[in-house]
Structure 1
């Protein structure tokens, strides 16, 4: 495309001299120049009628067609019946035994067809001469662009960060080794497939710095953190040192069906399978688990995939509302039911959830009186508002949740046994976060994205050492504690930097393993900074290369430089 004005000028002169329309495409089937109906969409890839060009590029041979609808190469063409071309002559443009494009002459009427048919060899010789002129121009362009372009190419290819070079039409021209590694692709594949880069989050472009992008490579997608830099007619997509390293999956079950349930541990997979089986059932479900394990998230997932998903999902925390108020909230009341009641009465949450789902969180804190009334609702499928003599029929599904031991409560007469069995038709136990092997890291990236979007910050990176620390932590507050921690870290991390261990709160385990080639030493008496300094100093002494040191420590090179300065290391 850098030579496009020159090539277009030659193409127009060629068309005028031969009285035929002409077209030039490159090896990627991008139209470089054209006359007549081909003078549109310059710089765009051909969508149709590319069969004959592909043949010339692949075989590196001339091709002449004077019977467009009966020639074997036209068989199977989707536009064969509507094709207006009456004849075609194409010549490959060869550079160092590689086909870099095709020059073609095209006839659209019988007179032009006869012109190609009667002068085939003459035209082939002439077009081959023109192609050699193009090759000379390409070679001259490469020589003239050596100098500074070579410096930039060398700089890009020796960068530790992944870099993609794109033209002004967003076509990828080149990728350095780290970029190819991040995308799990070769340079040849990179230039031969269609690539699209789109930001994951739609915003008003006020965010500065790296952010998440979805890179589509044919039918595969990768999630990559980076940012664009525009330089003249080209763009650089500069990837960040930190990457989430998770491809976008197209598994409908895990992405679309349970998009809010993050994790693929064996326990979570079993729970997803259970939800898929029981979601459409009207039976009651009792979810138990420690505080912060995400009981309401699972309840919403059950509702979302039930036949009631177009109706209301009503959630209430039984422990957060006083008993007297909780009764009126659940059952509602009629006009004049008690002093202070609304003059029009009030519809209770049970009635509001009719045909939908009622989620009762912390149901173990419900009083024995309300337990009796709730049992009647479950048995009779009707609710009696306070002050009313007429029951109202309801069709609801109840999902309840607790972090308490019901067997102990029943033994101490704190919970009705008959109500327990009505609620616990389908039991569902949520494991603690510390028991979910491999789920902490995807949850980290999920909360990084959510909280970055919520506060309007650019997506930060996170070092491997932080992930290791979070994996080793016991998480007494479970997923809620992890979410709160990530929100805190997103707020305090410097713009453009990544989250490192020095940003973690002090209650995280200070015992850090100091690596040796053969031994691992743990010192309970050193503080975190002293251990980190010793660790960095030992790695520098052993490896002697800052890039390798950063890789082993699981931090970025920029972070390593900052810590070397902080600890005054040589």
Structure 2
């Protein structure tokens, strides 16, 4: 009868060591492996996440070196290291870098904990953080070693090992039970939450992802942590270990003093807690159920369609279509057919089946007409008839179709000037402007920039599929001090750019901001100069604004989008103001 070898001391703790190894890999974002003194794999991640309990089948020169010398070994350039010479697996080896630490009890080596890089990015992470990673692994090894002898036949103390590991992590960690109640938090977590260990057990704590629509996404996300009657916004991720759920907090956290955005579904994307936005939300709530027309006025990029959507979602029409169309983006002859539709054979090139117009498609719902001020006088007359008669006449038809719609329109134009110069019908204006809503520019929304930055960081990291980054205090200060001529749209575009260029694991700092953020908030900006000169004409202000946007964006299409005008209109204004020599693609 063959004698079965007794499992090594590390193999007797294999479930615990495997959990520690997986956690180590998740925190450091490097694959990890643990072998015992007989070169038997105890735990591992990535390519080493299988064949536990099996002896390594390669020459394992580096492991043997650590086991024999009891010293750690770092290899940042594989194949050229002296230990790799003569290795039978040298040509087929995929390891690009290695950091191994012995697991020691007095003068006896129980095994090796190692980090292994399989990509150039991981190799650079090991190379740039050798001492930090080494200290981290040594600490884990000490915790395991301190308990390994007494744990050979007794599993009752595993929780103590687990708690010791978490307590000594630099990363904030909360431990939740099967009912998602918080059982324990280490000191960094308590510091992030501004709470004591005693208070942690005496109040109800709830953790919810900020983006409720995508709580299955892996990696760091923003979470709302409710502590009794208080809420904090923290970045972290959930991780299953040792029969519990861990909430691992990211090292870079948003400003804990931020107010949590309103999470009522109808206001999910209406981000803002300044006094003007709070008043706006109250107004939307009051007028949402009315059938009366709404006219939203505000600068380009302030989010007029977002407000229109909120009105629709709060109304009795929310189960029916919300149809949006930009009147400035479609040529006049096409806009008529888009809005009113046409019958078979109505004009040359018309579809043989005819077409249902957007007004008819929005029946029982809401029709949102953005940039209504760009609509021609002819179409204005037809739209007025729709509002008065509540019926639409498709092109080429002699039969009107009844419609039940609510019209919400938006503009950044001055209607009084347009009416005075016969560019907009006064009777239509009064029909559209039954309930006026003014959307303030971003520069007037004190305190909302930080909220919007964190909202767009969450939105764009989810969309792109990258890790949520932090943002430094100085970068936030500069963003808060900027005048935002492109309003919320400009802020969203900038955050999307920053999310794409920030190195993974790093916070967004001032060195990533575009050059025009180098000036301090106290320095004079073009917008401030405009505010200081009350005698400046509208044309002079328009010229300076276009000039500033061209200089900053360098792309005429982006300039036109930011200013809320068509590209052809932009070219006319560039020629009018003699800006042709300014560089813009």
Report TM bin, short chain: 0.5 to 0.7
Give the whole-Å Cα distance in 1 for the aligned partners of 2:323 and 2:499: 31
- With the length of structure 2 as denominator, give the TM-score of the two structures: 0.57
Q: 1:341 aligns with which of 321, 326, 350?
A: 350
- CA distance change for structure 1 residues 213 and 269 in 2, over 3 Å: closer, same or farther? closer
Deviations 1:339-371 (A, max 9, x none): 111112111111111111111111111111111
> Which stretch has the larger CA shift, 230-239 or 336-345?
230-239
CA contact (8 A) 2:167 2:187 kept: no
Shift of 1:244: 2.9
Give the whole-Å Cα distance in 2 for the aligned partners of 1:509 and 1:222: 31
Deviations 1:35-75 (A, max 9, x none): xxxxxxxxxxxxxxxxxxxxxxxxxxxxxxxxxxxxxxxxx
Aligned residues: CA RMSD: 3.5
SS of the counterpart of 1:445?
helix
Would you say 1:225 and 2:235 are equivalent positions? yes
- What is the count of residue pairs matched by the alignment? 369
Give the whole-Å Cα distance in 2 for the aligned partners of 1:438 and 1:155: 37
Deviations 1:67-90 (A, max 9, x none): xxxxxxxxxxxxxxxxxxxxxxxx
Would you say 1:266 and 2:238 are equivalent positions? no
The residue aligned with 2:437 is: 428
Shift of 1:162: 3.1
The residue aligned with 1:442 is: 451
Shift of 1:329: 0.8
- CA distance change for structure 1 residues 390 and 437 in 2, over 3 Å: closer, same or farther? same
Give the whole-Å Cα distance in 2 for the aligned partners of 1:260 and 1:419: 30
Deviations 1:437-474 (A, max 9, x none): 11111111110110000001111111111111111001
Deviations 1:187-227 (A, max 9, x none): 1122345656565568798845x433454556765432134
The residue aligned with 1:108 is: none
The residue aligned with 1:188 is: 198
SS of the counterpart of 2:369?
strand
Q: 1:310 aligns with which of 307, 313, 319?
A: 319
Give the whole-Å Cα distance in 2 for the aligned partners of 1:470 and 1:192: 39
The residue aligned with 1:479 is: 488
Q: 2:172 aligns with which of 129, 140, 162?
A: 162
Give the whole-Å Cα distance in 2 for the aligned partners of 1:512 and 1:366: 39
- With the length of structure 1 as denominator, give the TM-score of the two structures: 0.58
The residue aligned with 1:504 is: 513
The residue aligned with 2:249 is: 239
CA contact (8 A) 1:473 1:509 kept: no
Instruction: Give 1:161-560 correspondences, 5 Å limit.
Output: 161-164=171-174, 172=182, 174-193=184-203, 195=205, 207-208=218-219, 210-215=220-225, 217=227, 222-227=232-237, 237-245=247-255, 255-511=264-520
- CA distance change for structure 1 residues 255 and 230 in 2, over 3 Å: closer, same or farther? closer
SS of the counterpart of 2:324?
strand
Shift of 1:181: 3.2
Instruction: Give 1:74-153 correspondences, 5 Å limit.
Output: none
The residue aligned with 2:69 is: none
Shift of 1:230: 7.3
CA contact (8 A) 1:383 1:394 kept: yes
Give the whole-Å Cα distance in 2 for the aligned partners of 1:366 and 1:213: 44
Give the whole-Å Cα distance in 2 for the aligned partners of 1:329 and 1:440: 37
CA contact (8 A) 2:481 2:520 kept: no
Give the whole-Å Cα distance in 1 for the aligned partners of 2:229 and 2:468: 25
SS of the counterpart of 2:236?
strand
CA contact (8 A) 2:221 2:468 kept: yes
Give the whole-Å Cα distance in 2 for the aligned partners of 1:476 and 1:266: 21
Give the whole-Å Cα distance in 2 for the aligned partners of 1:173 and 1:347: 59
Shift of 1:483: 0.3
Give the whole-Å Cα distance in 1 for the aligned partners of 2:290 and 2:226: 39
Shift of 1:308: 1.0
- CA distance change for structure 1 residues 431 and 170 in 2, over 3 Å: closer, same or farther? closer
Shift of 1:277: 1.2
